[in-house]
Amino acid sequence: MLQQVMNLSQGIAPNVNKEALTNDKRKIYLFGSPSYTNMGDQAIAYAVEKFIKNCFPYYEYIEIMDYATKEGIEIVKQVISKNDIVCFTGGGNLGSLYVDIEEDRRMVIEAFKDYKTIVFPQSAFFENTTEGEMEKYKSQEAYNKNANLTLVAREHQTLQVLKETFQANVLYTPDLVLTLQIEPRNLGREGVLFVLRADKEKVTEEAFVSELTEMLKKDYPVDRTDTVLSEIDAIEYSNREENLLKMLDKIGSKKLIITDRLHAMIFSILTKTPCIVFGNSYGKAKHSYEDWLKDLNFIEYTDSKDSTEIQLLMDKVMNAVPNSINLTEDFQVLKDFFKG
């Protein structure tokens, strides 16, 4: 069985070997680590590892990729001890929009109902449809079987959803990527970059994007991308950091970012890049901004579609000397969970 774990974990976490699994250290098992190319979710998994290893070096940290959830559950069951902690990675996929990930989360939560279990900071959304209500019921059934479950909300809208929907303990912190201590590189900044989603959460209309693009092209080179990479098919543990740093350099080399992506906003914060933020279909970027980030002078959230107002916001953030905020105390409840 130990050989199975090592085979499963090859290329996931370099510390997953026989010694790591059999030593006397308490273990933290992280399920759901993404292999898909959404750099926001990749950044969360990266931040989870840094958070655990920096704050709690006395734990053995073991990561299990999303494509190995079922096998990982069976293997971890063979080696887990009563003082170990089972985790599921954070993100914006708790609910009915991404059912495959939600099904994996249910499996993990239910499988380890006798162990201390936590879902890292999430945004939650169940659609107000027959299908959405059905998925909510399935999640309630699975989650509520685990009396040792803690869920972490990353904005107040999700905090209410989690409290109203589940019987679990609920904590409230910012997105975990905001714990990263990354000193931005001194890159020459040029041009404006649109970082826009192309998925079911998209609400920013293309006509409006075209209007802004034409306005900006008079003064700046304009480009467009997404935080979901299209040039590669998958990301493993071994190249996660490389791809994340490339994304941060792409953001940090621009004079301005315009986005409807929560993590493009957060990457802008990490790189001190002026940023204008629009919403998604259920408000996770908006509420994260309002709850934690509105004191930043180089980041602005807006629901306006008036190009004159947008121009004023662009001028404001681009002329600001970027300030900082300290969110350390806001993560203390999460640190206390792992100390216990």
Q: Do residues 199 and 234 both lie within one domain?
A: yes
Furthest-apart CA pair in the chain: how many Å? 63
Report pLDDT for 1. 46
Whether residue 318 contacts residue 311, with contact meaning beta carbons closer than 8 Å, is answered with no
Q: What is the pLDDT of residues 170-228, one digit of tens each?
A: 999 999 999 999 888 888 899 999 999 877 767 778 888 899 999 999 999 999 999 99
Rounded CA separation 319/297 (Å):
10
Torsional class of 225: left (φ above 0), alpha (ψ -120 to 50), beta (otherwise): beta
What mean pLDDT comes out for the span 8-35? 72
Q: Do residues 9 and 150 both lie within one domain?
A: yes
Q: Do residues 141 and 268 both lie within one domain?
A: no
Band of pLDDT at residue 144, cut at 50, 70 and 90: very high
What mean pLDDT comes out for the span 225-249? 93
Q: Do residues 118 and 245 both lie within one domain?
A: no
Domain that holds residue 295: 192-319
Q: What single-letter amino acid sits at 15?
A: N
What mean pLDDT comes out for the span 115-130? 96
Report pLDDT for 17. 59
Q: Do residues 16 and 156 both lie within one domain?
A: yes
- In this predicted structure, which of 152-156, 279-283, 304-308, 332-336 has the lowest mean pLDDT? 279-283
Q: Do residues 220 and 287 both lie within one domain?
A: yes
Q: Does 234 map to a domain?
A: yes
Q: Does 300 score more than 80 pLDDT?
A: yes
Q: Does 187 map to a domain?
A: no
- Evaluated on CA atoms 38, 51, 171, 174, the torsion sign reads negative
Band of pLDDT at residue 281, cut at 50, 70 and 90: low
- Number of domains present in the structure of the chain: 2
pTM value is 0.93
